[in-house]
Amino acid sequence: MTTTAPTATNNVKPARALLQSAAFPILYSKLYLSAANVRSKKTRTIESVRPLAAMIEAEGLLADLHVSEERDARGKPTGRYGVEAGGRRWMAIGLLIDEKRLPADTPVSCKLVASERATGVSLAENFSTVKMSAADEFVAFSKLVAEGKTPEQVALHFGIKAIEVRRRMQLSKVAPALFAQFREDRITLDQLMALATTSASSRSGSRCPSISARLPPSASA
């Protein structure tokens, strides 16, 4: 498979350069993790990317990798590309290949960035990443269950254990008033999960505007 990379424009403002950079496929074997990638190796372990690998296997690669073209000492392209942003996705795809869940010559959708922008692009992606809240996870899981998926199927989709899905689904037993307080960070997940274990919390929650009066002093402080 021959890949022709588009030219990274250096004289265009960054925002416009991203808009003008078209994605193109690169064989996974031609990709490597760039030294300019800012994410720590401690946060990029095999176990930490397993959920991401499961999602990529289920839904495909939803976000392109951002790469820079490697050049030799004479300035000529080597045919290899350093992953500047998307290191965890790169590692997750590698895990799928190692476990024979994807072919070794899998093409990966990438966007080219100029080498002098590598660190800035990597920092921008990692700095802007926000983990889903437990409330958002519950809403997402609920939609999939409503579509007919079992907790086991949802767990496989997200690369987590089925018991984690079931725990989030317990939040459906909580009254909307209490769930709203949880979204506003007025109560913690542990407190909400404790209330979800009894049907009485659902009934009483609809009658009281605040949970604080029913929590121990140390919990409501």
Q: What is the pLDDT of residues 61-103, one digit of tens each?
A: 988 999 999 999 999 999 999 998 888 899 999 999 999 999 9
What's at 8, amino acid-wise? Answer: A
> Which two three-digit tokens encode residue 157?
């989709």
Q: List, for the chain, all residue ranges whose pLDDT scores fall below the cut of 70.
A: 1-21, 38-43, 118-119, 123-132, 198-221
* Per-residue buried b or exposed e for 31-51, using 16+ beta carbons within 10 Å of the residue's own CB: bebbebbbbeeeebeeeebee
- Return all residues near 128 (Cβ < 8 A) that are at least 6 apart: none
Beta strand extents in 89-221 (DSSP E only): 107-112
Whole-angstrom distance, CA of residue 68 vs CA of residue 80 = 9
- Return all residues near 146 (Cβ < 8 A) that are at least 6 apart: none
Q: Please give the class, per CATH, of domain 14-127.
A: alpha beta
Q: What is the dihedral of CA 169, 152, 134, 86, to 10 degrees?
A: -160
Least Cα distance to 129 among 161, 93, 83, 86 occurs for 86
Query: What pLDDT is attached to residue 204?
Result: 47
Backbone φ and ψ for 186, nearest 5 degrees, come out as -90, -20
Query: What pLDDT is attached to residue 30?
Result: 96
Break the chain into its structural domains and give their ranges.
Answer: 14-127, 134-220
Query: What pLDDT is attached to residue 127?
Result: 61
Query: What pLDDT is attached to residue 203?
Result: 47
> In the beta sheet, which residues pair with residue 123?
none
Query: What pLDDT is attached to residue 103?
Result: 94
What do you get for the CA distance between the two ends of the chain, in Å? 62
Alpha helices (H) in 159-198, listed in sequence order: 162-169, 176-183, 189-196
Query: What pLDDT is attached to residue 82?
Result: 93
